[in-house]
């Protein structure tokens, strides 16, 4: 029996001005407990794989246990099929333990995609590097901020290479062809499109050890796709310069110890995505303006986590007090929240024997 665990941290993307660029892996982990019974020579299981799912996230959505539909196993099958393996090894069991709330801006889909590529790589004995696995992730989730943070861990800046025209065409292949689904065309026996080499890259930034992350998680879902659809196609020069100035400052501000609250607060301001997402998140503008380091001791900065609706407050102390103030502001819009105190998860995704 071969048995191992894949552990992948969730992530908070953007951290204010770093839209689609900056990500932070956080200490809430999706786990896959995988067993492969190599004593068996054939299996009754669909695609040789049985999924079980333990929901620790209190999300309402039902996660599919069909390996061709479930996001994690679908991604693993994509990686396997790119290497001429049509199914999982005989009698593969995948037990998913998920504490990450779905559709709340803590990168649950990016975490699932990273877990899926790690699963395909491990069960197929493919020996792909994490750098190459990032290319596979980017065929599925096109913005690199969440997946790079979950894959590599820590506080990261990311970028996509300019691709050759033929590779741009390959990267624009509809997702239904990358991840064949029962609805989009069952496994045709053909090799799916492999990712171009070196699509995405990352750089790790320092993180001052005093800084902790408070995630205030409202009890409603904002699908990331919807939160991207409300963004404009183009921006004024003033807004672009505003964000560039802050994004350039942010890594130095969050990497310097002791932290300078005023600099961090300023460096976390954004004009590219947060103002437009207020239409989906009642009270967002008021929450973001609720407090500053001058009016709330311990607070360093506050932003939307990913596409929301979670709010990320960075702080050095008085965590409960800060969370309570944000929760009270949401309550005045009849929105209830849970909150978690998290820390950067520096290791990224790991595979270890069970
Ligand atoms: N552990 C998981 N297993 C299967 N599917 C998942 C898992 N986590 C997330 N997903 C899928 O990703 C969707 C959420 O993605 P998205 O809207 O991008 O929000 P988030 O901000 O949480 O990443 C869920 O509705 C679900 O379909
Ligand atoms: N840069 C993306 C990040 C989405 O993060 P998620 O955690 O909400 O999936 C965006 O802002 O759209």
From 74, 102, 115, 220, mutation site for ligand 1 pocket: most ligand atoms within 8 A of C-beta = 102
Kindly list the protein residues whose Cβ atom lies closer than 6 A to any atom of ligand 1.
30, 61, 63, 70-72, 96, 98, 102-110, 112, 223-224, 306-307
Q: Which whole-number Å values give the CA distances from 191 to 66, 84, 114, in the listed order? A: 21, 7, 21
- Does pLDDT of 174 surpass 70? no
Whole-number Å distance, alpha carbon 109 to ligand 1 midpoint, is 4
Are 276 and 231 spatial neighbours (Cβ–Cβ below 8 Å)? yes
For ligand 2, atom 4, the nearest C-alpha belongs to: 306
Are 196 and 163 spatial neighbours (Cβ–Cβ below 8 Å)? yes
What is the edge-to-edge ordering of all strands in the sheet holding 337-342?
299-304, 311-315, 212-218, 337-342
Q: Give the least confident one: 38-47, 67-76, 335-344.
A: 38-47
Check residue 191 and give its pLDDT.
Answer: 77
Q: Which ligand is nearest to the CA of 304?
A: 2
**pLDDT band at 171, cuts 50/70/90?**
low
Q: Of ligand 1's atoms, which has the minimum distance to the CA of residue 141?
A: 18
The tokens for 105 are 């801006």
Whole-number Å distance, alpha carbon 175 to ligand 1 midpoint, is 15
- Does pLDDT of 164 surpass 50? yes
As a whole number of angstroms, the distance between CA 144 and CA 43 comes to: 37
As a whole number of angstroms, the distance between CA 56 and CA 100 comes to: 7
Contacts (Cβ under 8 Å, ≥6 apart) of 32 = 5, 6, 72, 94, 95, 96, 97, 115, 118, 119
pLDDT digits (tens, 9 = 90+) for 208-245: 999 999 999 999 999 999 999 999 999 999 999 999 99
Check residue 183 and give its pLDDT.
Answer: 36
**pLDDT band at 185, cuts 50/70/90?**
very low
Check residue 270 and give its pLDDT.
Answer: 98
Check residue 16 and give its pLDDT.
Answer: 98
pTM higher than the cut 0.90: yes
The torsion angle over the Cα atoms of residues 268, 247, 7 and 91, rounded to 10 degrees, is 120
Check residue 176 and give its pLDDT.
Answer: 67
Higher pLDDT, 318 or 171: 318
Interface pTM, i.e. ipTM:
0.99
| Residue 192 backbone class (left: φ over 0; alpha: ψ -120 to 50; beta: rest) | beta
Whole-number Å distance, alpha carbon 103 to ligand 1 midpoint, is 6
Q: Of ligand 2's atoms, which has the minimum distance to the CA of residue 304?
A: 11
Whole-number Å distance, alpha carbon 145 to ligand 2 midpoint, is 8
Check residue 179 and give its pLDDT.
Answer: 72
- Does pLDDT of 188 surpass 90? no
From 23, 28, 146, 274, mutation site for ligand 2 pocket: most ligand atoms within 8 A of C-beta = 146
Check residue 99 and give its pLDDT.
Answer: 98
Q: Give the least confident one: 16-20, 37-41, 280-284, 320-324.
A: 37-41
Query: What average pLDDT is seen over the chain?
Result: 94
């Amino acid at each position: 029996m071969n048995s191992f665990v894949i552990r992948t941290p969730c992530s908070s993307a953007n951290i204010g001005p770093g839209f689609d660029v900056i990500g932070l892996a956080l200490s809430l982990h999706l786990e896959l407990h995988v067993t492969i019974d190599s004593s068996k020579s054939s299996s009754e299981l669909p695609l040789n794989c049985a999924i079980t799912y333990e929901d620790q996230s209190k999300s309402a959505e039902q996660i599919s246990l069909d390996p061709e539909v479930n996001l994690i196993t679908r991604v693993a099958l994509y990686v396997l099929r790119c290497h001429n393996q049509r199914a999982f090894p005989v009698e593969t069991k995948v037990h998913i333990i998920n504490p990450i709330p779905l559709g709340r801006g803590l990168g649950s889909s990016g975490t699932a995609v990273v877990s899926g590529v790690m699963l395909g790589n491990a069960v197929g004995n493919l020996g792909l590097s994490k750098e190459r696995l990032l290319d596979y992730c980017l065929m599925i989730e096109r913005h690199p901020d969440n997946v790079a943070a979950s894959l590599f861990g820590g506080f990261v800046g990311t970028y996509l290479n300019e691709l050759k025209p033929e590779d741009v065409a390959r990267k624009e292949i509809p997702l239904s062809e990358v991840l064949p689904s029962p609805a989009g065309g069952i496994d045709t026996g053909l090799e799916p499109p492999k990712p171009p080499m070196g699509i995405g890259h990352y750089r790790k930034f320092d993180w001052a050890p005093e800084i902790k992350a408070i995630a205030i998680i409202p009890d409603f879902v904002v699908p990331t796709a919807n939160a991207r659809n409300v963004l404009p196609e183009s921006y004024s020069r003033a807004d672009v310069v505003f964000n560039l100035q802050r994004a350039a400052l942010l890594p130095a501000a969050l990497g310097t110890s002791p932290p300078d609250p005023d600099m961090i607060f300023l460096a976390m301001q954004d004009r590219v995505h947060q103002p437009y997402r207020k239409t989906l998140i009642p009270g967002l503008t008021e929450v973001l303006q609720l407090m500053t380091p001058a009016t709330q001791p311990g607070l360093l900065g506050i932003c939307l986590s990913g596409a929301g609706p979670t709010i990320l407050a960075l702080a050095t102390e008085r965590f409960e007090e800060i969370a309570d103030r944000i929760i009270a502001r949401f309550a005045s819009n009849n929105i209830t929240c849970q909150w978690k105190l998290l820390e950067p998860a520096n290791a990224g995704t790991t595979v270890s024997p069970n």
